[in-house]
Structure 1
């Protein structure tokens, strides 16, 4: 992309590819944890009538659910699929719109950094004190907390990335361009499940 393209990156190409790869891997991991939820629930459901017990199945399913939710945040944000209430910001154009986007991104970045720091601190504390799960399987809590912490850290990175991009004059990459035809409107509605 040329530097005059408003969707260009402020980072070198190798860093841009690395960041995009990080967001993609995070999304894939979220998908794998979603599949693991399905498999655990299937084992729990099929095991009951057969008298087979899956130890701590509910615990593992809930940890996988948290991992799915948090690891999917950055990929969802970067794909423009995160729910965004734009009633006010969509009414503004030009430079005021860019300022509003920067303000919104700065607030979002500050919130993500705050939560990422405390998630990291919680995970580190669990590791230092060797906190164990209270369920059937006494797993060290820092292991399932890694996905929670990692997802928030990757989201914070994605928000810093986007804030810098918009600060340097780029258009928000999380915002999809307006559809150009009726077919494109229908295609987007089908893809979003609406």
Structure 2
């Protein structure tokens, strides 16, 4: 049962990362199409808006996968200087605060999207995109990130360690 849940969660994190990569490809395509339109004297209305939506979506969708791969910036000076028992307490505190904040964001994100949909709020650009659509993709990424933080917090309580991989190679480039 635990292995099934673990594989489902890892699949969700990886799927969100794939969607983030697709958003980055969409940004590239939009920029190239906008360049081609300018060179040919045409106008591609809404391209900067769509690229912005894709950038927000890519960022939020990548958060969970980046967390578990050890790609988020973590200040480990304090964690490395305390004994293992204190380290576990500090990590639980950090993950608890982060988890609470992201779930808070998700809660109010749902309300925000509901009101955008209810009032038919549209973008200010010429494309007049209903704003609940790009906001929903951002909220999906925030939800997956909150799930990943909760997953790591539960792992700290049950196993005594989180699931964030220690990326020594990338850390050594910054020192």
By the TM > 0.5 criterion, same fold? yes
Equivalent in the alignment of 2:78: 88
Equivalent in the alignment of 2:53: 63
Residue 171, structure 1, aligned to residue 140, structure 2: no
Contact 1:80 / 1:173 at 8 angstroms: preserved in 2? Answer: no
* CA 1:169–1:71: 2 relative to 1, 3 Å: same
Question: What are the equivalent positions in structure 2 for 1:16-165 lying under 5 Å apart?
Answer: 16-165=6-155
Q: Equivalent residue of 1:127, what SS?
A: helix
Q: Equivalent residue of 1:67, what SS?
A: helix
Contact 1:26 / 1:72 at 8 angstroms: preserved in 2? Answer: yes
Equivalent in the alignment of 1:5: none
Aligned partners of 1:47, 1:97: CA distance in 2, in Å? 55
Aligned partners of 1:75, 1:193: CA distance in 2, in Å? 21
> CA shift at 1:93, angstroms?
2.6
> CA shift at 1:135, angstroms?
1.1
* CA 1:189–1:12: 2 relative to 1, 3 Å: closer
Q: Where is the helix percentage greater, Structure 1 or Structure 2? A: 2
Q: Give the CA RMSD over aligned residues.
A: 2.1
User: Number of residues paired by the alignment?
Assistant: 175
Instruction: Compare 86-95 and 142-151 and name the one that shifted more.
Output: 86-95
Superposed CA deviations along residues 130-185 of structure 1, whole A, max 9, x for unmatched, are: 211121112111101011111111111111110000011332221417x6xxxxxx
Structure 1 gaps of 5+ residues are 1-10, 180-187
Aligned partners of 2:174, 2:31: CA distance in 1, in Å? 24
Runs of 4+ in 1 over 4 A off after TM superposition: none
Q: TM-score, normalised by structure 2?
A: 0.92
Q: Equivalent residue of 2:145, what SS?
A: helix
